[in-house]
Every structure is written in structure tokens, then in C-alpha cells.
């Protein structure tokens, strides 16, 4: 896997975003905390700004009002003047805040939470060497941090908020129920944010922290839907032997689903995969029971 991206000389402006999904409270309340206590995220060599991305959805405790905001950042949609849903307009507003020439940020950290047993996960949307080295550093100081990479051929294909900036990534933490704060995950996420800001400060000072020369990364392969009838009705659920086993190997012939009449459905793939986002509550509407990944060792 080749690294991409221009050489980074200086980080001048960093954005910490929470509440992109209104019922993911960890990031939203961290942003509120940082707003109340800005000295917590102040650094001498760059400016840090915060953003509550979807305030209307957060106010009513819903993932979104009309459309998933974290799927509204495709370049062609941001340029489409006919789109008029709340989230589509909000995405354009966020673009103006974070990516306009006058206020352009150099690094975006988008905070999310999941009902799946994902622990602390970094979600990369590109192979920029800066992002890879930062992810490797976070994994080096905390081996519990996992790194998942989505597959996009170009920025134009990336619908996530992180498409607005080449540098940065999302943090996904779980398991935690929608619309709920869990203090342990809140504290772990806050610690991870501070470690990222410390890294960026040291980078600006020319003191890049050392890491391992390799990084274990989980590369996205595909998604799997629940077993469904012809009318789209679900007739099975995640098998109990697979539930909560995010980032653990799923081998051909292993149980994957259990039908409502107690029949086991086995994984029919030809090779071992590592599933994540297993039984994520927000993905039922998207027809996703889990994402399958390939475990890779990446040389830095």
C-alpha cells in the first residue's frame, strides 16, 4: 500500500468535531466540555477550534434530522445548489467553516461512538503518511487503539466529514448505547484527543515522536447484510458466538447468524476475515450487519 499526500511542514489550525451524529453523545459532550474549558485544548503552536456538527439532531437525541450528515460530504453534493435537506445544507455550512480559504483547517478530528464492541478505533479515509504515522504513534503508546481504513479511490468518493481535509481522521469508540454517556469511554476518548494534540504540537516543534516501523491496520473489504426475506424483513440476528467479537478472526465455516427458528448460518467466505461494527444499531437501516476487513501489516 503506497502512502499519499503532500509533505506537511506546519499544522496551524485544528478542528475537533463532535455530534456529527446527534445521538452519539461522547463526542458532542467532549466538544461542549472543550468549549467551556478552552485551555484544555490550547497549544502554543497552533489554534484549536471546536464544532458541534449537527446541533438540531443533538437537541432531539437523534442520529440525524433528514439525512445522515456523515454521508453528505461528497464533492459533487457540496457543489450541488439544488440540494436542500437540513443535513445537506449543514454540510455546506461546515465546509464553509472548516474548508474555506480564510479559515481552512489543517487537521480534522471527528469524534464518534458506536454500539459495537470497537474499543478505541482510528478510522482513516486515506493513506497520507502523516495520518499513518500518527495512527501508528497512538497504537504504539496504547496497543488497545485499533486502526481501520475505509476504501476510497479519491477524495471525490469520500462522503464523510473528514473528506474536507487531507489530514485527520475519525475516532470511533464503543460499545456505548445511542443517546448515552459512558464515563470510561468519555475519559479514554478525551485522553486520546490530548495525545493527538500533543503529537501535533511536538510535530510543529520538529520533535516527531518515534513509533514502531510497522502498523497493524484493518483494511475494509465489504459489508454483510442480515438474512432477509424477499420483502426485506430480517429473519435472523448476529450469532451469539460472533456478537461482540469485533477485530477477532472469522474463519470459513464459523457461525455468523442465528435465524429466528434457531438455525445457524455459517460464514461462507473462502478466507479468514476480521469483522467490525458487528450489530451496530445505526446500520440496520443501511442493511449492514457488520463490515469485513483484512488484517494487514503496513510498513511505515
pLDDT tens track for 245-256: 999 999 999 999
pLDDT for 129-175, tens place per residue? 999 999 999 999 999 999 999 977 666 789 999 999 999 999 999 99
Query: How far is it, in rounded angstroms, from Cα 233 to Cα 6?
Result: 47
Residue ranges matching CATH 3.40.630.10 in the chain: 13-212
**Average pLDDT for residues 96-125, to the nearest whole number?**
95
Query: How far is it, in rounded angstroms, from Cα 81 to Cα 99?
Result: 18
- All cell numbers assigned to 235: 429473519
pLDDT score, position 80: 94
The mean pLDDT of the chain is 95
pLDDT score, position 1: 45
Confidence of residue 5 (pLDDT cuts 50, 70, 90): low
Asked if residue 2 has pLDDT above 60, the reply is no
Query: How far is it, in rounded angstroms, from Cα 107 to Cα 279?
Result: 31
pLDDT for 79-98, tens place per residue? 999 999 999 999 999 999 99
pLDDT score, position 103: 83
Domain 221-291 = CATH 2.20.25.160: yes
Q: Which CATH number fits domain 13-212: 2.60.40.420, 3.40.1440.10, 3.30.479.10, 3.40.630.10?
A: 3.40.630.10
The residues pairing with 296 across neighbouring beta strands, listed in sequence order, are: 217
Q: How many residues does the chain have?
A: 300
The residues pairing with 294 across neighbouring beta strands, listed in sequence order, are: 219
Asked if residue 127 has pLDDT above 80, the reply is yes
3-state class percentages of the chain: helix first, strand second, coil last, to nearest 5: 30, 25, 45
Contact 42, 16 (CB under 8 A): no
Query: How far is it, in rounded angstroms, from Cα 251 to Cα 264?
Result: 15
Asked if residue 276 has pLDDT above 70, the reply is yes
Q: The pTM is what?
A: 0.96
pLDDT score, position 284: 98
Residue ranges matching CATH 2.20.25.160 in the chain: 221-291
Amino acid at each position: 500500500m503506497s502512502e499519499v499526500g503532500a509533505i506537511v511542514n506546519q499544522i496551524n489550525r485544528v478542528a475537533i468535531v463532535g455530534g456529527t451524529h446527534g445521538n452519539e453523545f461522547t463526542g458532542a459532550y467532549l466538544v461542549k466540555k472543550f468549549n467551556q474549558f478552552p485551555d484544555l485544548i490550547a497549544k502554543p503552536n497552533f489554534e484549536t477550534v471546536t464544532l458541534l456538527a449537527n446541533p438540531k439532531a443533538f437537541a432531539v437525541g437523534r442520529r440525524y434530522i433528514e439525512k445522515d450528515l456523515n454521508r453528505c460530504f461528497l464533492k459533487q453534493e457540496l457543489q450541488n445548489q439544488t440540494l436542500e435537506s437540513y443535513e445537506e445544507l449543514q454540510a455546506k455550512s461546515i465546509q464553509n467553516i472548516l474548508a474555506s480559504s480564510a479559515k481552512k483547517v489543517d487537521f480534522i478530528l471527528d469524534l464518534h461512538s458506536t454500539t459495537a464492541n470497537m474499543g478505541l478505533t482510528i478510522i482513516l479515509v486515506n493513506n497520507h503518511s502523516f495520518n499513518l504515522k500518527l495512527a501508528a504513534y497512538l497504537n504504539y503508546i496504547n496497543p488497545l487503539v485499533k486502526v481501520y481504513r475505509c476504501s476510497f479511490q479519491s477524495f471525490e468518493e469520500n462522503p464523510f466529514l473528514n473528506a474536507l481535509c487531507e489530514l485527520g481522521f475519525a475516532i470511533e469508540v464503543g460499545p456505548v448505547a445511542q443517546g448515552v454517556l459512558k464515563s470510561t469511554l468519555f475519559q479514554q476518548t478525551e485522553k486520546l484527543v490530548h495525545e493527538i494534540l500533543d503529537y501535533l504540537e511536538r510535530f510543529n516543534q520538529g520533535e516527531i515522536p518515534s513509533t514502531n516501523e510497522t502498523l497493524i491496520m484493518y483494511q475494509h473489504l465489504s459489508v454483510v447484510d442480515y438474512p432477509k426475506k424477499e420483502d426485506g424483513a430480517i429473519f435472523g440476528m448476529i450469532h451469539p458466538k460472533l456478537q461482540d467479537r469485533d477485530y477477532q478472526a472469522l474463519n470459513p465455516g464459523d457461525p455468523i447468524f442465528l435465524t429466528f427458528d434457531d438455525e445457524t448460518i455459517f460464514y461462507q467466505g473462502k478466507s479468514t476475515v476480521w469483522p467490525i461494527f458487528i450489530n451496530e444499531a445505526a446500520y440496520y437501516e443501511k442493511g449492514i450487519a457488520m463490515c469485513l476487513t483484512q488484517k494487514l501489516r503496513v510498513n511505515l
